Amino acid sequence: MTEPIRARAFWTVAPGLGELRDEPLAEPGPDEVRVRARRSGISRGTESLVFRGGVPASQRVAMRCPFQQGELPGPVKYGYASVGVVEAGLPALVGRRVFCLFPHQDRYVVPADAVVPLPDGVSDARGVLAANMETAVNGLWDAAPRAGDRIAVVGAGVVGSLVAALAARIPGTRVELVDPDARRAPLAARLGCTYATPADASPDADLVIHASGHPAGLATALGLAGFEATVLELSWYGDRAVSVPLGEAFHSKRLQLRSSQVGAVATAQRARWSHRRRMTLALELLADPTFDALLSGESPFDRLPATLARLADAPDGALCELVAYP
């Protein structure tokens, strides 16, 4: 009798502690595929919160990812940015490179409709940005920018940078990427934006998108908004209480503060766009090699417990860290 194929997966077993675990894989059924991972991406904000045990109890169900195993705060298998090759299962997909919202694992079996083929012009490495690009697309739909708008994006992480790059492609817009780290200036220029520190950012923006993940960034965003402008909140703070300056000019400027979250398709698009159609668009947008600028480094899969501990405890300015599989 043939022994089952074994897989290795990353688990957060307790706050601040991860390990690789072995598990058997069943053979794929008639409508399933087995994927051999090539690269996965670490979503710095969300995965650091999960790794640190910072997801509040009230949000643990809402924060489940599609193929999560275990429960928050742990032990839990969590993640959603995997690129690999279909090596068995549905014949039409065998040999295809695909993206899947799957945790960090070297091989896995999923329904065939859970994978989305990568366009030929999208590398394995760039493909791991698909989930972040999907968030950026949804955020831009929620923000509803208009041609000619002056737009401030506060926070030059992966999602903020992707949103800024997309907004800069709208005719006539002027997009300023605002971040306290001056090392982000060349990135802003590459994405078609200008760069400013919070102290030097241009006031009276028509639209402000906040994606820094820090309360101080939200205060900056509110301060940059012009009369009757919208401030769109893309950050998620986990179990941290956030103090928001809703005094000062918030009311006299008649500002709107709105949230955006990728779990539901933006209201204006929901009647016509499925999650799969939105993901397909995200992958198509990643055909632009400009987005390679968001890939900061690469670590081997077998060192992932130490890599996540490093990223969670001592942020180093890196953007998307790649995980390479043997």
DSSP 90-130: SGGGTT-EEEE---SBSEEEEEGGGEEEPPTTS-HHHHTTH
* pLDDT of amino acid 18: 95
Q: CATH: 3.40.50.720, 3.40.50.300, 3.40.50.2300, 3.30.365.10. Which one for 139-259? A: 3.40.50.720
**Planar angle of CA 62, 262, 93, nearest 5 degrees:** 100
d(CA 271, CA 277): 12
Question: What are the domain boundaries of the chain?
Answer: 5-129+286-324, 139-259
d(CA 83, CA 79): 12
* pLDDT of amino acid 162: 97
pLDDT above 90 covers what percent of the chain? 78
* pLDDT of amino acid 239: 64
What would the pLDDT profile of 214-233 be if each residue is shown by its tens digit?
899 999 999 999 999 999 99
* pLDDT of amino acid 241: 76
Half-sphere exposure (Cβ direction) of 237: Cα atoms closer than 13 Å: 14
pTM of the model: 0.90
d(CA 192, CA 175): 8
Return all residues near 154 (Cβ < 8 A) that are at least 6 apart.
160, 178, 179, 198, 201, 208, 209, 210, 211, 212, 217, 218, 220, 221, 224
Report the CATH number of the 5-129+286-324 domain. Answer: 3.90.180.10
Q: Contact 128/40 with Cβ under 8 angstroms?
A: yes
Tokens encoding 97 = 């490179």
Residue ranges of the chain whose pLDDT lies below 50: none
Where does residue 199 rank: exposed (0-12), middle (13-18), buried (19+ CB within 10 A)? exposed
Q: State the Cα torsion 44-45-46-48 to the nearest 10°.
A: 70
Q: Contact 226/154 with Cβ under 8 angstroms?
A: no
* pLDDT of amino acid 57: 84
Q: How far is CA 255 from CA 13, 140, 158, 232, in A?
A: 43, 18, 26, 11
d(CA 98, CA 187): 28
**151: β partners:** 175, 207
d(CA 148, CA 33): 46
* pLDDT of amino acid 154: 98
* pLDDT of amino acid 46: 79
